[in-house]
Structure 1
Amino acid sequence: MLSHQERIDWHRHTGHQLIYPRRGVLRVFTAAGVWVVPPSQGAWMPAGTAHSHRAFGATEMRAILFDVDGEGPFPQRPTVLAFTPLLREAVTALTDDAAMAPDVRSRLARVVLDLLRSVEAPQRFLPALEDPRLREVVALLEEDPADRRTLAQLGAAVGASERTLSRLFREEAGMTFAQWRGQFRLHHALVLLASGQQVTRIAGACGYASPSAFIGAFRASFGTTPGEYLRREPDLRI
């Protein structure tokens, strides 16, 4: 069990790793960028991929290692996968029972890999940015996610024009600044939901103009309101 805000520092494995937060929320960091992973999802890290984790809410993290010489196919890049109820139970069984017979463990691991072939998840992903001016903008917003300054105002703070920053976001992030900021705010909102914050407070802390604006953005991305999402994801926070 990881405590709120506990971090597992950068590391890598010789095998492929499947990471699953049965309770709580994980932020998973790689060189490519950052994912937010709730209990309905898991993260796949190919062998040799450097990564780190940070927990939000009391987080029950499960992890399974797969031998690179084992039967695949294995996902070739870090990714987030939706977890069906059956996949949740299979991963839980593999990580709960240390005394499981090797042949049973092998067959159940095969089942997990088979189930992973057919699951997809919306990519709540913030790509890593290389340009130092973009990094400065990100640092300002990480320091204060409630900051509602425009791109032009943020550009003035970091010594870059709005036009330049707009072009760089499209080139490096593959999205506009408005799209990037929308993803960033939803990342932060999921973290705060896991921490037990109320919707009204989350709206202000994430820079939304009003609670209704936050609820609308959340519904547009997740297909449900924050309250309904918590009822559907009872293990998001404990």
Structure 2
Amino acid sequence: MSTPIIRLDLVTSSGAPFLAAGELTQSEARATSSHSHARGQLMGALSGLVSVGLDKQTWVVPAIHAIWIPPHCVHSVRSYGPFSGWSVFIAENRCASLPPEPRAIKTSSLLREAVRRAATWPGVELDQAQTRIAEVIIDELAASKEESLALPRPEDPRLVRITDALAGDLSDNRRLEQWAAWAGVAPRTLSRRFVAETGLTFAQWRQQARLLRALELVAAAVPVTTIALELGYDNVSAFIDMFRRALGTTPGRYQTAETPENRAAVR
């Protein structure tokens, strides 16, 4: 069983403070099976990378992002290697102004500092100063912009066969027509079903899968050239350009932003 980030009564008890937070660092990987709770949860990584399974999607959480999980939303969690992360649990009656669906957000320095402060609280009724900090966390979450860090999973067995094969080898550059022939489906049908079931074209789905895998590898400090080759890019420049368009920065700068020294600098 995974070590709780905070005391379980702060998640389950209606008499607990309306906001509770915790940080946890452990030398082993973290994995929790599918579960839900009445409180909304905002969770992020302090270092490395965490993935969250939500419904038919997988969400990747790099260290400068967080995932909002609304109340009663079934989810699972796993880390890539040793776990270092944080969570904020918000009472259901305070979630009305917060996003009704799961979303990824980029965390601001203000939000990270407020969470860090809240993680030191003893779990009793909040005083006035603590209440103000808790309200800042809720306001920052409510005002946050949604980031695209999810990878939807199709249901059609033919599409699942393709996406599973791609997930196993993202360097595979076969065109849609070639994949359609491999899976025994007409190209037009494949194209139409991809959009209908995932909201993405085949090319967009593959690029999103590559981006999320790139984030995993960047978090593991894999050299950019190695990442580009593993993901099927002809050259490093093409990979860096894709990464910059998606996240607004280069892989190198993104990796630097996740180092403990730089995280400490914004605290």
Q: Which structure 1 residue ranges, 5 or more long, are not aligned?
A: none
Return the offset for 1:79.
0.7
Q: Deviations over 1:157-207 (max 9, x none)?
A: 322222211111111222211111111100000001111211111111112
Q: Could you say which residue in structure 2 is the equivalent of 1:114? A: 139
Aligned to 1:169, the other structure's residue is in SS state helix
Matched letter for residue 106 of structure 2: A
Aligned to 1:149, the other structure's residue is in SS state coil
Question: Compared with structure 1, are the counterparts of its residues 138 and 4 closer, same or farther at alpha carbon in structure 2 (3 Å cutoff)?
Answer: farther
Q: 1:171 aligns with which of 196, 213, 219?
A: 196
Structure 1 length normalisation: TM-score? 0.89
Aligned to 1:26, the other structure's residue is in SS state strand
Greater CA deviation, 53-62 or 17-26?
53-62
Q: Could you say which residue in structure 2 is the equivalent of 1:7? A: 31
Matched letter for residue 76 of structure 1: P
Q: Does 1:64 align with 2:60?
A: no
Question: Compared with structure 1, are the counterparts of its residues 99 and 124 closer, same or farther at alpha carbon in structure 2 (3 Å cutoff)?
Answer: closer
Question: Counterparts of 1:4 and 1:147 in 2: how far apart (Å)?
Answer: 32
Aligned to 1:69, the other structure's residue is in SS state helix
Aligned to 2:119, the other structure's residue is in SS state helix
Percent of residue pairs bearing the same amino acid type:
36
The higher-RCO structure (CA 8 Å, 6+ apart) is 1
Matched letter for residue 233 of structure 1: E
Structure 2 length normalisation: TM-score? 0.80
Aligned to 2:92, the other structure's residue is in SS state coil
Q: Which structure 2 residue ranges, 5 or more long, are not aligned?
A: 1-24
Q: Does 1:131 align with 2:156?
A: yes
Return the offset for 1:76.
0.6
Question: Counterparts of 1:100 and 1:67 in 2: how far apart (Å)?
Answer: 14
Matched letter for residue 152 of structure 1: E
Write the mapping of 1:138-149 to structure 2, written as runs, cut at 5 A. 138-149=163-174
Question: Counterparts of 1:222 and 1:43 in 2: how far apart (Å)?
Answer: 16
Q: Does 1:98 align with 2:117?
A: no
Question: Counterparts of 2:106 and 2:261 in 1: how far apart (Å)?
Answer: 14
The count of aligned residue pairs is: 238
Q: Could you say which residue in structure 1 is the equivalent of 2:209? A: 184
Matched letter for residue 191 of structure 1: E
Return the offset for 1:69.
2.3
Q: Deviations over 1:116-141 (max 9, x none)?
A: 12221421221231211111111101
Return the offset for 1:17.
0.9
8 Å Cα contact 1:39/1:236 also seen in 2? no
8 Å Cα contact 2:219/2:255 also seen in 1? no
